[in-house]
Amino acid sequence: MVFEQGPGYKVKRLEVEPGQRLSLQYHRQRSEHWVVVQGQATVGVGGRTLVLSPGESTYVPRTAIHRIENRGPARLIVIEVQTGAYLEEDDIVRVEDDYGRPLIARTPGDARASEVHGPDFPTERTGARARGSSPTSD
């Protein structure tokens, strides 16, 4: 759900049900700032894994591979602030996706495709879906 947008910014509410996660992805033209407002988020950003509780946040730089996962028992709600010159959904570059959406073409030497999270951030699971988001809006 988009709360507000203007030149160079967009504010969204993301909801993730227990046991679900968003795509492993990056953006070429925007950065994001995530603030957890309900639940507990396990987030991977650029090879780091963090667990965030309500009131805690993290920054996702442009081109950093990232994902939000809800390993907790309650719905996770995150406020996402996107900033950059281009904020459209076609700036999402998926590296992994639980829903069968198109991924980036992995070519030899593609550093973006080989950057993954640490061993405590699994990247294999099926049936995950973010509540309230369309298949193309995570």
pLDDT in tens, 77-94: 999 999 999 999 888 888
Domains defined for the chain, CATH in brackets: 2-114 (2.60.120.10)
pTM, full prediction: 0.74
Average pLDDT, the chain: 80
- For residue 107, what pLDDT is reported? 40
- For residue 98, what pLDDT is reported? 83
Residues of the chain with pLDDT under 70: 105-138
pLDDT in tens, 6-17: 999 999 999 999
3-state secondary structure the chain: CEEEEECCEEEEEEEECCCCECCEEEECCEEEEEEEEECCEEEEECCEEEEECCCCEEEECCCCCEEEECCCCCCEEEEEEEEECCCCHHHEEEEECCCCCCCCCCCCCCHHHHCCCCCCCCCCCCCCCCCCCCCCCC
